[in-house]
Amino acid sequence: GAGVSQSPRYKVAKRGQDVALRCDPISGHVSLFWYQQALGQGPEFLTYFQNEAQLDKSGLPSDRFFAERPEGSVSTLKIQRTQQEDSAVYLCASSDEGSGNTIYFGEGSWLTVV
Amino acid sequence: GQNIDQPTEMTATEGAIVQINCTYQTSGFNGLFWYQQHAGEAPTFLSYNVLDGLEEKGRFSSFLSRSKGYSYLLLKELQMKDSASYLCAVRDDDYKLSFGAGTTVTVRA
């Protein structure tokens, strides 16, 4: 597609439920990022992939968060045993290492844990 | 750690000019980005500075001073559609962007 695509756009989960958020980056983009954005705040880094390799997961808030990109394109962010504090927008972004500069964001997956 | 500061809110009149300042203290520096984000939408790329000076792109300009850890985004000839949050972000190594909390700009008629 033309841009970064994320699904679902909106997710309501009961506390304790597992959720999976999908990101389809711009075709051919090597780098893929996940960010978490709380209401009224800037995005906070979660994790970074270069192709299928997860090079940085320092921003994942707990071991309940897991991300993968097995074939170097589509990525999934999984949150196990969701808690209310996990409620946020999860943004995926990708960039072409060849361009070097611009990082393109998807519209995000809005997660509400009740 | 990373420290990126920008004002929380700004209000301006349609047709006017607004300058959004951003100061940063980061462990490294490999470029500064400005993004625009309308409520409920994706951040969209506005500008990128890696060298000192002014980058102009239509009604939007961005300035960087690396020695001062300072940038600004200048929005000219404001339009109602410019009402949005503006995010300052620093790339502190090869890939990771650290964001400020964003500046909400409200344009009044």
Amino acid at the residue A14: K
Closest Cα partner for B107 from B73, B80, B75, B76? B80
pLDDT at residue number A99: 46
Over residues B46-82, the pLDDT tens digits come to 999 999 999 998 999 999 999 999 999 999 999 999 9
Q: Is A56 on the interface with B (CB under 8 A)?
A: yes
Q: Is A43 on the interface with B (CB under 8 A)?
A: yes
Q: Is the pLDDT of residue A75 over 50?
A: yes
State percent of chain B over pLDDT 70: 99
Mean pLDDT for B24-41 is: 92
Write out chain B residues lying below 8 Å of A105, CB-based. Answer: 35, 42-44
Quick one: tokens of A109?
Answer: 């997956």
Q: Is B42 on the interface with A (CB under 8 A)?
A: yes
pLDDT at residue number B92: 81
The conformational region for residue B77 under phi > 0 = left, psi -120 to 50 = alpha, else beta, is left
| Cα gap B6→A39, rounded to integer Å | 16
Q: Is the pLDDT of residue A38 over 90?
A: yes
